Every structure is written in structure tokens, then in C-alpha cells.
A = this chain, B = another copy of it.
Amino acid sequence: MIKPVTIKDLARQLNISISTVSRALRNANDINPDTKETVLKLARELEYEPNFIAQSLVKKQTRIIGVVVPLINSNYFSEALSGMTDLAIEQNYHLMICQSNERVDLENKSIRKLVACNINGLLISVSKDTKSPEVIREAQNKNIPVVMFDRIIPEVSCTKVIVDEYEGAYKAVEHLIRKGCKKIAHIGGPRDLSVSKKRKQGYLDALRDYKIEDDPKLIIHCKSFEEDASNAIRKVLAESPDAIFCINDLTAIMAIQYARKKGFSIPGDIRIVGFNNDPVSGVVQPALTTVMQPGYEVGKLAMGVLIDEIEKKTAKHKLFTLRTRLVTRLSSR
């Protein structure tokens, strides 16, 4: 085991004081250029690397950013994480990533641990059940800038980065209307989830703006995302719509398959649109029109504004909304 070289070692070998070595390495101004040179030379020779931990302790600056997401293994979140890490390494920050597995207790535990690690910033997307954000506030009280993304809650006052799901839904429905659809059904998600509400509102507003009466029989909520989607699809199909706007891609794909089995042609008889732009949507037959959420960009932006707050020491508590993009494919042409 080779012990790492420290500034003490350099000082001893050069017969100068520790402070002088430190100044030489830090490129401070009250240092003789010659001594600086000799110090740097020896440092290179011995392959000196500053001890990050020691620096962090005294400077109270770790350049570590904590990230908490409900689940790493999801297309959207892993995209966001990807964007974050790319920007972080570029800006010389380090990431500590935790997942809450949608459990509030694990979420709090993770945040506490991250704070104990002296993180300089916190990036968080809360779990489904997080209502009371005390632990997050604790972090803020310790002067740690916090940025929430995607899964945000109003109880915390901080900068937030989200995707404009309302607009995404609106665009999707508008697209169907322009294709000539008049009887557009909607298969929604759990009634009280903010995601469901926003997407449904976009649907309703698009109909209204184009003077199409909304029909309660054409709107079905699924209690859970996967569970009774097939039931919902059956019911909706009985109303013989000419288009279906689905809460997500999985539901849309199930709808396509069910409709085809019943002899409908897609998009000939019924046009179908999903949401998320999962990798699946490009390879199913027919390829699915869907709403792309810029996960990578969300991650990058969230990281960007967080670093800004860390370095400028200003918490603006702004809301950033990224726009979605409608990806039109065969299922709605």
C-alpha cells in the first residue's frame, strides 16, 4: 500500500513550510515564482494529488450534487440522469444519485445522508406519496440550493423544472382534429394524479377551442396505469370513436392491438396517439404517434440552474417549463 503524497511531504523534501507549498499549488499571488516552480516540479514528480476530502472539510465546498429520483430504471428518469451527469462532469461537479423506490422513508433517508455528505446542491423528483417536504426544507435551511424536477410539489419553494404536459396533450388532440377527427376519446390515468389532470385539461381545451363538444362517455379514467386499461379500451371502443388520445404509450399500444383484433384499421378507421415517446412507440405496428418529453434536456436544465444557484448564491425560485414535441407516426396519419 503506497501512501498518498501530501503537501507535508513536499514541504519536508523542499525544506519549506506547509503554507508555502499550499500557496504554490493554489497559485496564490504572494509567492515567489521560483519557489512556486520548484514546488510544482516536485509535485509532478511525486504525482501529488490534492486530497479532495481535506479540501472539502476546510472549504465547506464539496462540489458534490445530490440527486434523488423515484426510480433510476425508467426511460424518462434515466434520460434525465444522463443529461445531469453530462453537464455535471463538464462543470467539474460530482453526482451522488439515490433512488427512493417511491418510498417516502427511503427518500428522507437518502436526503439526510446526502446532506451529511455536505452536498452543495440537491436535485430532486419526489415520490408519489411525498406530501410533507420537511426534510427538503431542512436542506434549504442549511443553505443547500434545491431544484425540483418533473415530480414537483407546491409546498416547497424552490426553482422547478417541468415539462409542459398540458401543451403536449393539447397539441396531440389538435393534431387529431386537423386530421379530421370529430369524435375523439380519451383514456386517462388515475383521477387525482397531477399528470392525468394536466393531460386531460389539454385534451378538453383543444376540443373546446375547435368547437367540439366534449362527451363524458368518451372519457375514461384508469384507476391504476396498467390495471384496467384493457377494460377502458373496450368501453371506449363501444362508443365507436374516430380517434383515441391515450395517457401513455403502453395504453395506446394496447388500444391499437385491441382495436385491430376487433377488425378496425389503424389509422384508417381510428387514429391513436400516445404520450411519452417510449422506445417502444417507434417499433410497434403501426408506429405510434406520441408526445415526446425532453428528459435529457430536463436533466441538463435542472442541473444548469442548480449550478447557477450554487455559484451565484441566488435562489430565484423560478419555474422552468420545457416544451414537448409531437412525434407523428403512422398511427395517426
Q: Which residues of B contact A82 (CB under 8 A)?
A: 71-73, 99
Contact B98 A110 (CB under 8 A): no
**Whole-angstrom distance from the CB of A159 to the nearest CB of chain B?**
18
State the CA gap A82–B78 with chains docked (Å).
Answer: 10
Q: Which residues of B contact A110 (CB under 8 A)?
A: 89
Given the interface pairs A53-B53, A250-B283, A280-B283, the reply to whether A94 lies near B117 with Cβ below 8 Å is yes
Of A36-44, A135-143, A162-170, A304-312, the one contacting chain B is: A135-143
Is residue A96 contacting chain B, with contact meaning CB distance below 8 A?
Answer: yes
Is residue A284 contacting chain B, with contact meaning CB distance below 8 A?
Answer: yes
**Whole-angstrom distance from the CB of A77 to the nearest CB of chain B?**
8
Q: Which residues of B contact A81 (CB under 8 A)?
A: 72-73, 78, 97
Given the interface pairs A53-B57, A72-B81, A285-B285, the reply to whether A96 lies near B96 with Cβ below 8 Å is yes
Contact B89 A98 (CB under 8 A): yes
Q: Which chain B residue has the least Cβ–Cβ distance from A110?
A: B89
State the CA gap A98–B33 with chains docked (Å).
Answer: 35
Q: Which residues of B contact A52 (CB under 8 A)?
A: 113, 116-118
1/0 per position for A268-284, CB-CB distance to B under 8 A? 00000000001110011
State the CA gap A78–B71 with chains docked (Å).
Answer: 9
**Whole-angstrom distance from the CB of A72 to the nearest CB of chain B?**
5
Interfacial residues of chain A within 261-304, with CB under 8 A of chain B in the complex: 278-280, 283-285, 295-296
Q: Which residues of B contact A254 (CB under 8 A)?
A: 283
Interface residues on A, range: 35 or more
Q: Which residues of B contact A133 (CB under 8 A)?
A: none
Is residue A56 contacting chain B, with contact meaning CB distance below 8 A?
Answer: yes
Given the interface pairs A78-B73, A279-B278, the reply to whether A142 lies near B86 with Cβ below 8 Å is no
Given the interface pairs A49-B116, A278-B279, the reply to whether A2 lies near B143 with Cβ below 8 Å is yes
27 A-B pairs within 8 Å (CB atoms) are namely A4-B142, A50-B116, A51-B57, A52-B118, A53-B56, A53-B62, A53-B117, A71-B82, A72-B82, A72-B85, A73-B81, A73-B295, A74-B78, A78-B78, A82-B99, A85-B99, A94-B113, A95-B96, A96-B96, A97-B97, A250-B283, A260-B285, A278-B279, A280-B280, A280-B284, A284-B285, A285-B285
Closest 3 CB pairs of A and B: A78-B78, A49-B116, A73-B82
Give A residues with C-beta under 8 Å from B: 1-2, 4, 47, 49-54, 56-57, 62, 64, 71-75, 78-79, 81-82, 85-86, 89, 94-99, 101, 106, 109-110, 112-113, 115-118, 138, 141-143, 250, 253-254, 257, 260, 278-280, 283-285, 295-296
